[in-house]
């Protein structure tokens, strides 16, 4: 049986007047039933665009310029818009970053949930309403019957994200793409939502892609991790191994940037410089201008290579020892 | 809601009072109607009798108080020219203006909303660019010129439509209406189109801007991620959001059309309120001018109230609490 989702050499480019922006450039990863993949990177690394590419929601001037997105063995990149629509919200669901913005402010919660049920299932309105109510209960919203009649502005941020998650769960999807769903929330709410996401995947066998810039979120939640930099996956592997013994200098820098109790009193470590503009990426390794280990050979584009079993990195001189500690 | 309405009513009363004072002073400043109304051959005694009969011998503040007292009893004075109650004169003309304004507004919505929606959804298509260019024409061509051109083409050269007057009317609820007869409707078409041209352009531009802005919102992307059909996203998710600014502007425009459709009414000799006010200003018929402006003030207050209530229906975040 093929994995739930396998992305191979995905390229999503934006053809702007100023030039071609290679937001996603040769990205590959896979995620299987009941597993969680953490997609990590800075702003502008292409992680959100990867998520939108999977759902076919990349707007012009952007488009998928190459590669394949195999969902249960079927290539999504070749599907028509209507075939894609039938999958979206049904077999593949998405949760967005800002819960204050994802629900339509002028429509009641029941309208927004029932329309999602009816978009994919031939059931009566009553039945659809019943399903909406059950989904709200499932994500821990008290008195769901009453809350169905409320408008989004009558919910707190955390509650709105629960509603968005309930909407994503309506059709028991096989894959959920969650784009920084807890970034805008309080830490306590974030913890609750993470716990529920984990439980959900384990119980229902849903595959989950969790896009985030926060390594600590991924550490507790994900099974595997893919680190993105300037449109490319630079390191990939099981989450504990990658975080304990990162191979790529960028991953090392990311881990070093997380404030920690062990380094109290010392200045925080940071990665020098900025993410390069995607419009004119330097040839070779995109990270080399900021890399402490850069050398002349880095001007050649480094290939993705398996340095240890299951551990991939796009670097010609990876850290062999546990360098992040 | 009740508190809101009550507050609004009090505010309205205050606005009407202030407005009456301003209007009264303003009209007083324009000129002395005596010179126009009384024949130059009249002798001094006749003149003084006429001035006394019109109440123009009293000091200004007394004239105002008399006017205010009468107004409270629903009497806004008698027209100097027609010797009829000014209010009845205006209300007689109102249906003509009202049906024209309502017709023009409906026409503008029927044409403007779909075109604006299309132009907003496909901003780069040649059709959208054509629509937009057309809206610039609608904005900038002067109303009187368009009116004359309409008459030239459809009345004079093609002979399809009548060019002046209201045509056949029927009396319903004690008022005469044109839109209920075939002939009256034919008479309405050209002035209606003429009046709606500017409004169509306005609604196209508002709708287009609203659609383009709304399409970028996260909730539209989320609606797409839910697998909704494009039709549902456009007609429910986007449309309901853009209606809010459209309602505001259409409300104000509607009031403006009723109050100031003077040019169109003159070009098509449409016996509405606009023509009445212009004629009254020409002969300094003070009671009609004052009464007219008071009616317009009341109308604007009512329209604004309706717009506010519509808001609360369209946008649940708006609460009518009168704060």
> Does some domain include residue B165?
yes
Domain that holds residue B221: 86-283
Q: Do the beta carbons of residue B134 and residue B224 sit within 8 Å?
A: no
pLDDT tens per residue across span B256-265: 888 778 888 8
Residues of A in contact with B219 (CB under 8 A): 101-105
pLDDT confidence of residue B296: 86
pLDDT confidence of residue B202: 92
> Does some domain include residue B11?
no
Q: Which residue has the tokens 């994995």?
A: A3
pLDDT confidence of residue A325: 40
pLDDT confidence of residue B321: 58
Taking 90 as the threshold, does the pLDDT of residue B57 lie above it?
no
Reading the block at residue B296, the tokens are: 């317009």
Choose the closest CB to B227 out of A88, A108, A111.
Answer: A88
What is the distance in angstroms between the Cα of A152 and the nearest Cα belonging to chain B?
9
Taking 90 as the threshold, does the pLDDT of residue A143 lie above it?
no
Residues of A in contact with B233 (CB under 8 A): none
Choose the closest CB to B226 out of A89, A101, A105.
Answer: A89
Q: What is the rounded distance in angstroms from the CA atom of residue A161 to the CA atom of residue B309? A: 31
More confidently predicted of B80 and B141: B141
The DSSP call for residue B78 is B
B127 confidence band (pLDDT: 50, 70, 90): very high
Chain A residue with minimum CA distance to B318: A106
Q: Please, what are the domains in chain A? A: 5-91+174-313 (3.40.50.300), 103-170 (no CATH)
Reading the block at residue A66, the tokens are: 């190459």
pLDDT tens per residue across span A27-59: 888 898 888 999 998 888 888 889 999 998 888
Q: Which residues contact A122 (CB under 8 A, 6 or more apart)?
A: none
Hey, which residues does A10 pair with through a beta bridge?
A27
Taking 70 as the threshold, does the pLDDT of residue B320 lie above it?
no
What is the distance in angstroms between the Cα of B211 and the nearest Cα belonging to chain A?
14
> Does some domain include residue B172?
yes
Q: What is the rounded distance in angstroms from the CA atom of residue A158 to the CA atom of residue A193? A: 9
pLDDT confidence of residue A324: 44
CATH of the domain at B265: 1.10.3720.10
Residues of B in contact with A102 (CB under 8 A): 218-219, 222
Whether residue B219 and residue A103 make contact (CB cut-off 8 A), yes or no, is yes
pTM for the predicted model, two decimal places: 0.79
Report ipTM for this prediction: 0.85
Whether residue B226 and residue A96 make contact (CB cut-off 8 A), yes or no, is no
Choose the closest CB to B316 out of A86, A93, A151.
Answer: A151
A277 Rama class: left (phi>0) / alpha (psi -120 to 50) / beta: beta
Average of pLDDT values for B150-175?
81
What is B274-306 written as a DSSP string?
HHHHHHHHHTT-HHHHHHHHHHHHHHHHHHHHH
Taking 50 as the threshold, does the pLDDT of residue B323 lie above it?
no
- Cβ burial of A296 (10 Å; 0-12, 13-18, 19+) is exposed
Q: How many CB pairs under 8 A join A and B?
A: 75
- Cβ burial of A196 (10 Å; 0-12, 13-18, 19+) is middle
Q: Does B289 touch chain A (CB under 8 A)?
A: no
Reading the block at residue B110, the tokens are: 């029927």
pLDDT confidence of residue B200: 93
Q: What is the rounded distance in angstroms from the CA atom of residue B69 to the CA atom of residue B24? A: 14
Q: What is the rounded distance in angstroms from the CA atom of residue A44 to the CA atom of residue B247? A: 39
The domain tally of chain B equals: 1
> Does some domain include residue B214?
yes
CA-to-CA separations, B1 to B5, B98, B305, in angstroms, rounded: 6, 29, 12
Average of pLDDT values for A125-139?
88
More confidently predicted of B316 and B151: B151
pLDDT tens per residue across span B176-231: 787 877 788 888 888 899 999 999 999 999 999 999 989 888 899 999 998 888 88
> Does some domain include residue B185?
yes
B110 confidence band (pLDDT: 50, 70, 90): very high
Please report, rounded to a whole number, the percentage of residues in chain A having pLDDT higher than 70: 97
pLDDT confidence of residue B179: 80
Whether residue B232 and residue A119 make contact (CB cut-off 8 A), yes or no, is yes
List the 173-212 stretch of B: residues with Cβ below 8 A of A: none
Average pLDDT, chain B: 84
Whether residue B218 and residue A98 make contact (CB cut-off 8 A), yes or no, is yes
pLDDT tens per residue across span A249-283: 888 888 887 777 666 677 777 787 777 777 777 77
Reading the block at residue A290, the tokens are: 């900021």
> Does some domain include residue B218?
yes
Taking 50 as the threshold, does the pLDDT of residue B322 lie above it?
no
List the 292-321 stretch of B: residues with Cβ below 8 A of A: 314-317
What is the distance in angstroms between the Cα of A87 and the nearest Cα belonging to chain B?
7
Reading the block at residue A116, the tokens are: 């999602």
Q: Does B240 touch chain A (CB under 8 A)?
A: yes
Choose the closest CB to B240 out of A88, A101, A106.
Answer: A106
Please report, rounded to a whole number, the percentage of residues in chain B having pLDDT higher than 70: 97
Reading the block at residue B196, the tokens are: 């709606």
Please report, rounded to a whole number, the percentage of residues in chain A having pLDDT higher than 90: 7
Q: Does B27 touch chain A (CB under 8 A)?
A: no
pLDDT tens per residue across span A225-242: 999 988 888 889 998 888
Whether residue A105 and residue B224 make contact (CB cut-off 8 A), yes or no, is no
Q: What is the rounded distance in angstroms from the CA atom of residue A113 to the CA atom of residue A131? A: 9
Taking 50 as the threshold, does the pLDDT of residue A69 lie above it?
yes
> Does some domain include residue B39?
no
Residues of A in contact with B222 (CB under 8 A): 94, 96, 102-103, 164
Whether residue A151 and residue B317 make contact (CB cut-off 8 A), yes or no, is yes
> Does some domain include residue B178?
yes
Q: Which residues contact A1 (CB under 8 A, 6 or more apart)?
A: none
Closest-CA residue to B311 (of A148, A104, A149, A106): A106
Mutate to test the interface with A, among B222, B223, B234 (most CBs of A within 10 A): B222
pLDDT tens per residue across span A283-313: 788 888 788 877 778 888 888 888 888 888 8
Name the CA radius of gyration of chain B, rounded: 24
How remote is the C-alpha of B8 from its chain's centroid?
A: 21
């Amino acid at each position: 049986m093929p994995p739930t989702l396998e992305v191979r050499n995905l390229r999503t480019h934006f053809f702007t007047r100023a030039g071609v922006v290679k937001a996603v450039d040769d990205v590959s990863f896979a995620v299987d039933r009941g597993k969680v993949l953490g997609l990590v990177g800075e702003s502008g690394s292409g992680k959100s665009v990867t998520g939108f590419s999977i759902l076919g929601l990349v707007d012009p001037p952007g488009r998928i310029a190459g590669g394949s997105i195999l969902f249960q063995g079927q290539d999504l990149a070749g599907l028509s818009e209507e075939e894609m629509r039938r999958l979206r919200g049904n077999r593949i669901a998405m949760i967005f970053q800002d819960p204050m913005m994802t629900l339509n402010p002028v429509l009641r919660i029941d309208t927004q949930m029932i329309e999602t049920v009816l978009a994919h299932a031939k059931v009566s309105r009553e039945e659809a309403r019943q399903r909406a109510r059950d989904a709200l209960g499932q994500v821990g919203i008290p008195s769901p019957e009453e809350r169905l009649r409320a408008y989004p502005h009558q919910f707190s941020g955390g509650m709105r994200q629960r509603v968005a998650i309930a909407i994503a769960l309506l059709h028991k999807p096989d894959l959920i793409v969650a784009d920084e769903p807890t970034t805008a929330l309080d830490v306590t709410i974030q913890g609750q939502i993470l716990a529920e996401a984990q439980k959900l995947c384990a119980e229902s066998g849903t595959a989950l892609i969790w896009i985030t810039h926060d390594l600590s979120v991924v550490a507790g939640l994900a099974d595997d991790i893919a680190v993105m930099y300037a449109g490319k996956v630079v390191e990939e592997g099981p989450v504990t191994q990658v975080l304990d013994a990162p191979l790529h200098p960028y991953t090392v820098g990311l881990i070093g940037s997380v404030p920690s109790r062990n380094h109290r009193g010392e200045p925080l470590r940071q990665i020098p410089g900025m993410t390069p503009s995607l419009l004119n990426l330097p040839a070779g390794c995109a990270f080399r201008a900021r890399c402490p280990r850069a050398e002349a050979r880095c001007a050649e584009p480094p290939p993705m290579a398996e340095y240890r079993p299951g551990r991939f990195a796009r670097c010609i001189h990876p850290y062999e020892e546990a360098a992040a500690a | 809601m009740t508190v809101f309405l009550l507050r609004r009513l009090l505010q309205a009363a205050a606005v009407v009072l202030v407005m009456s004072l301003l209007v009264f002073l303003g009209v007083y400043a324009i000129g002395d109607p005596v010179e126009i109304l009384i024949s130059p051959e009249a002798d001094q005694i006749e003149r003084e009798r006429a001035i006394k009969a019109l109440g123009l011998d009293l000091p200004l503040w007394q004239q105002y108080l008399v006017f205010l007292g009468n107004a409270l009893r629903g009497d806004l004075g008698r027209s100097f020219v027609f010797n009829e109650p000014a209010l009845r004169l205006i209300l007689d003309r109102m249906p003509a203006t009202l049906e024209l304004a309502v017709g023009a507004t409906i026409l503008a919505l029927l044409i403007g909303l779909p075109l604006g929606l299309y132009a907003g959804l496909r901003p780069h298509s040649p059709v959208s660019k054509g629509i937009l260019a057309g809206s610039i024409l609608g904005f900038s061509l002067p109303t009187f010129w368009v009116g004359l051109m309409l008459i030239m083409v459809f009345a004079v050269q093609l002979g399809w439509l009548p060019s002046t007057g209201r045509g056949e009317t029927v009396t319903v609820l004690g008022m005469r209406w044109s839109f209920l007869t075939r002939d009256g409707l034919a008479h309405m078409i050209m002035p209606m189109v003429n009046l709606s041209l500017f409004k169509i352009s306005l609604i196209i531009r508002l709708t287009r801007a609203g659609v383009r802005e709304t399409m970028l919102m996260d909730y539209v992307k989320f609606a797409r991620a839910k697998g909704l059909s494009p039709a549902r996203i456009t007609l429910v998710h986007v449309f309901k959001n853009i209606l809010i600014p459209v309602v505001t502007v259409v409300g104000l425009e509607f009031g403006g059309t009723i109050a100031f459709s003077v040019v169109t009414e003159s070009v098509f000799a449409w016996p509405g309120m606009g023509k009445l006010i212009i004629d009254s200003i020409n002969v300094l018929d003070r009671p009609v001018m004052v009464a007219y402006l008071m009616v317009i003030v009341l109308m604007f207050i009512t329209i604004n109230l309706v717009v506010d209530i519509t808001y609360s229906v369209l946008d649940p975040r708006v609460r009518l609490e009168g704060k």
